Amino acid sequence: MKEKKYLLLLIMTTISLFGASEDEIKQSENFYNKSLSELLNTETELKANVGSRNGERDLLLSEVPIDVITSEQIRQSGSSELSQILERYVAGFNFPRPSINDGTDHSRPFTLRGLNPDQVLVLINGKRLHQSSLLNMNGSVGRGTSSVDLNTIPIASIERVEILRDGAAAQYGSDAIAGVINIILKGYGHQNQITATYGQTKENDGKMGRTDLFYSIPLKYDGFFNITTEYRDRGATNRAGADRRQLYPDGDPRNDLKDPITMHYGDADTQDILFAINSEVVLDNSVILYANGIYNDRKSQAGAFFRSPRDSRNDVDIYPDGFLPMIAPKIEDYSLTIGTKDTLSYGIKLDLSYTYGFNDYHFYVKNTLNDSLGDTSPTSFDSGGTTYTQQSINLDISKKMNSFLVATGIELRNENYTIYAGEKDSYILGSHSKNAGAQGFPGFKPSNEVNANRNNAALYIDTKYNKNKNLLIGLAGRYEYYNDFGSNLDGKLSLSYKPVSKLLLRSTASTGFRAPSLSQSYYTSTTTGQEGDTLYETGTFGVNHPVAKDLGATDLKPEKSIHFSAGFILEPFSGVSFSTDYFYTTIKNRILLTDNITENVSPDVKTILNSYNIGRARYFSNAMDTRTQGVDIRLKYKYRFENHSKIKAMLAYQYNSTDITDVNTAPSILGDDGEKILLGDNTTLIEESQPNNSLKIYTQYIYGNIISKINLDRYGSYKTNWADKVYSFGATWTTDVEIEYNFKKIYSFAVGGENIFDTYPDKFEDTGSFFMSGNGVMPYSQHSPYGYNGAFYYIRLGIKF
Amino acid sequence: MKTVYILLIAFIIPLFASNQERDLQAVFLGRFAKFIEWPQNNRDVFTITLINENPFEDLLDKLYIGKTIHGKKIKIKYVTDVKDIGLSDILFITLDDQKDVGKVIKYAQKHSILTISEQRGFAQRGGIIQLGFVMQKPYLVINYDSATKSKIKISSSLLAIAQDVIKEEAE
């Protein structure tokens, strides 16, 4: 009897899964029986634009895997930075918190799927957002790349963030290898709001205050002018361990000080002013004129390595107790898009836009000195900086023709990258010692200055064929021409098929590329040293610099990728969906920073270095090929109880694994160690320094005026290379909770905590170093995917009007 | 046994991904009618007309088959030209060209037809009900003046739940 019951259940389930061809009508019937107010409170399925030039579609019908993070999820977070918020919700989004990494401390890169920060394309309202001019040069994840700084966007301006987990260079061009992030700014119909948030860590540091205002001015025909302002002040955190070095000269009683903390190892002290606008003016004839933009002014400071009183780079007359140089950049970043949208005759839709994006990363160093200038040295310096400008003109044309959706367009882009010198005292070698330049961050020299331009033009077509509504075939192609490396052609084929109403199968295959960034091609930064009467330079050289060329550097080629993904979405019950997608990506000619090339490499190298008075040099090269594969799993559930309370839950898991499959032939001048020099110490960074799995479990429960949230995150294990030895760090769980009370639908008050159980990542074992070691100054790996601040608690007040 | 029934019911509830916004819009077309009073007419059929593209495919035909509105059987009509609208009760407009939209609204006002569209600015342009979506929720704008001009009465309960009602101050 029991068996019969289960058999019946199985039959009914099968019928339900494979025989319900009338589901859509039943859904509408279900809606039809609800009251009007219930209908108006119905929350529809999330939609996304990204990955298609043919308009929004429901996520559950998407031919490519997409995550959408809503403004509600963004608001329900104690974090003040968009990258940190996304890291909490999106499996496979990695945002480590590097420290003592020069500029990287202040503009921290993020990654998707374990790839590099510059292998992700970021869009605002569908238009390409520029990268930072900062080139991450230290040991952080993303070493040798420039990343988009998501934290330049005020979070109150965001309606949703769409994350396409698929290669899409055939649709969007360069960089769309690991995925595409499309940030949709709030548009028509959003309520005005003021929010104030205050929080701090359990250790009583990292004090964060944030206030923002979102204000919308309605215009004729549902046009709008929205403005968002935000002020964000994040205090530094410090988890530095004791400095066990001998800090003072022999016999100095201060050497007996127990466990002195001399360094800063944690978040930078940062103040941000942010603005965003988003506007659409609808004319009488329905033509839409639109504009959107963001502006960020950031002042930040974080420590370099401590120079002890007995350090040869210290001047005890200026700093009798030694000094901690503070790198304190001023970063200005803005972007503005203007455009028009119209529907012409025969239903042809047109979108013409111009985007200007700019980033200025200006280094200053405080609490420091140029030791070579002696006692007269200044203690703060303007060390110069870098700028990046991107201008794009974009014309999109689309038309629906029966079962065909066709979109085509052109894009013209101009990029400019500059390096500008710092003040003279920030880089010169004086006569007092051989320690040239400002300690902490020596300034860029006039000889490092660069003003590089690049133009490119692209022509693309994106089609979708949807004859039978259960079958969708997409075909896209994009031709690009860059005036530096030439042309590129990419294609993408996507298929989705609903064999039965509750199941969607989907698959994509595509090629992609990433143009070498101007910063990788042209970055040059050197410091002066002295040996005897001879001055010499050491540093990083652009690939077209004579010394780099003599050492085997060639013009950088684009990274080329091949992608494949296949998966399914299943919705077995109302309100429950489950998706699994396998992905596979190969990348050829990945660009890496070489190891330092010294005279020890070979006599020929020594001759070249000596001829240019160079001590050691490094440059960027197309060094290797990699293969990344993995799987994404999403499980979503939502339910409305009879008492009108609601629950929403999401489980997101990603596994990814990256392997180096080939190392390119090194220039012959680099001799037998050429391959080793090409790879530098990047092997661990590429393959193992990012967790290869992550799990996010998000639950929101709404009952009356109360909204509660619990977020569980599991970060997989990762490894860090230090002094040619690889150290492992275990997986960790963190827990975030928040409870919010709403009053009269106007006022809200929330209390919450992130990582409430004060979980810390594993410390280094005893490496024998004074620095990166469990008992050293830097006890935690900078590759920790959730930092090492411990618990963070906050309160938030909101007013809607 | 009870558990098995619950499981069975759960499996049979048939809600897979369709375009939920479209499904909702299809339902709203008929549901709004319950809150609308048209001038007296002798027609024995309640006609819902779609002009231009039909985004619902066959959903409206299937949803409204066998149903009645104000005691009348429902007829779904698809037209592409204002000349073909004829006598209708509800007109769902998907036209892009505002000149065409203007003509259709004028026709609808003359013949007491309830005009509905999802186009932004539709209500401000003289349409009666604008049904869009903001943040995954239906967003309703009603042009009360336009309804009055069309000799159509909208119940206060529908007006009360609209996010925005366009109404002359003088009234």
Q: What is the ipTM of this complex?
A: 0.81
Cα B112 from Cα B125, distance rounded (Å): 17
Q: Between vectors from CA A63 to CA A147 and to CA A468, what angle results, nearest 5°?
A: 155
Q: Which residues of A touch B96 (CB under 8 A)?
A: 286, 343, 347
Q: Which fold has domain A15-800?
A: Maltoporin; Chain A (2.40.170)
- pLDDT tens-digit series, residues A187-201: 988 999 999 999 999
Q: A16 and B12 in contact by Cβ < 8 A?
A: yes
pLDDT band at A468 (very low <50, low <70, confident <90, very high): confident
Average pLDDT over residues A645-674: 93
pLDDT of residue B7: 40
- pLDDT tens-digit series, residues A103-112: 999 999 999 9
Mean pLDDT of chain A: 91
- Nearest to A218, CA basis, from A191, A195, A193: A191
Q: B18 and A24 in contact by Cβ < 8 A?
A: yes
Q: Which residues of A touch B14 (CB under 8 A)?
A: 16, 20, 22-23, 26-27, 501, 574
Percentage of chain A exceeding pLDDT 90: 73
Average pLDDT over residues A204-215: 96
Q: Which residues of A touch B13 (CB under 8 A)?
A: 573-574
pLDDT of residue A535: 67
Cα A529 from Cα A428, distance rounded (Å): 10
Is 50 exceeded by the pLDDT of residue B171? no
**Nearest by CB to A44, which of B7, B8, B136?**
B136
Cα A506 from Cα A496, distance rounded (Å): 4
- pLDDT tens-digit series, residues B100-154: 899 999 999 999 999 999 988 999 999 999 999 988 889 999 999 999 999 999 9
**Nearest by CB to B15, which of A17, A27, A347?**
A27
Average pLDDT over residues A613-637: 94
Between the alpha carbon of residue A418 and those of residues A134, A450, A549, the distances in Å are 11, 5, 21
| Residue boundaries of the structural domains of chain A | 15-800
- pLDDT tens-digit series, residues A720-730: 998 889 999 99
Cα A684 from Cα A611, distance rounded (Å): 34
Cα A217 from Cα B148, distance rounded (Å): 28
Between the alpha carbon of residue A358 and those of residues A2, A33, A680, B118, the distances in Å are 69, 53, 31, 37
**Nearest by CB to A42, which of B8, B135, B138?**
B138
Question: Judged by CB atoms within 8 Å, which residues 446-475 of A form the interface with B?
Answer: 469
pLDDT of residue A791: 96
Nearest 5°: phi and psi at A442?
A: -60, 145
pLDDT of residue B169: 57
pLDDT of residue A4: 56
Cα A467 from Cα A476, distance rounded (Å): 17
Cα A429 from Cα A449, distance rounded (Å): 18
**Nearest by CB to A28, which of B59, B121, B161?**
B59
Is 50 exceeded by the pLDDT of residue B8? no
Cα A152 from Cα A388, distance rounded (Å): 15
Please indicate whether residue A458 or residue A471 has the higher confidence score (pLDDT): A458
Residue A309, helix vs strand vs coil: coil
Is 70 exceeded by the pLDDT of residue B170? no
Amino acid (one-letter) located at A278: N
Cα A488 from Cα A561, distance rounded (Å): 12
Is 50 exceeded by the pLDDT of residue B12? no
According to DSSP, residue B20 is labeled H
Cα A199 from Cα A208, distance rounded (Å): 5
Question: Judged by CB atoms within 8 Å, which residues 176-195 of A form the interface with B?
Answer: 188-190
Mean pLDDT of chain B: 84
pLDDT of residue B18: 52
pLDDT of residue A2: 52
Give the chain B residue nearest A569 (alpha carbons).
B17
pLDDT of residue B13: 36
Contact yes or no for A17/A502 (Cβ under 8 A)? yes
Domains assigned to chain B = 19-166 (3.40.50.2300)
pLDDT of residue B53: 84
**Bridge-partner residues for B171, per DSSP?**
none
pLDDT of residue A643: 86
Q: Which residues of B touch A282 (CB under 8 A)?
A: 120-121
Mutation for A interface: B4, B9, B16, most A CBs within 10 A: B16
Give the chain A residue nearest B33 (alpha carbons).
A36
Cα A375 from Cα B163, distance rounded (Å): 70
Is 90 exceeded by the pLDDT of residue A682? no
Is 70 exceeded by the pLDDT of residue A658? yes
pLDDT of residue A258: 86
Q: B133 and A58 in contact by Cβ < 8 A?
A: no
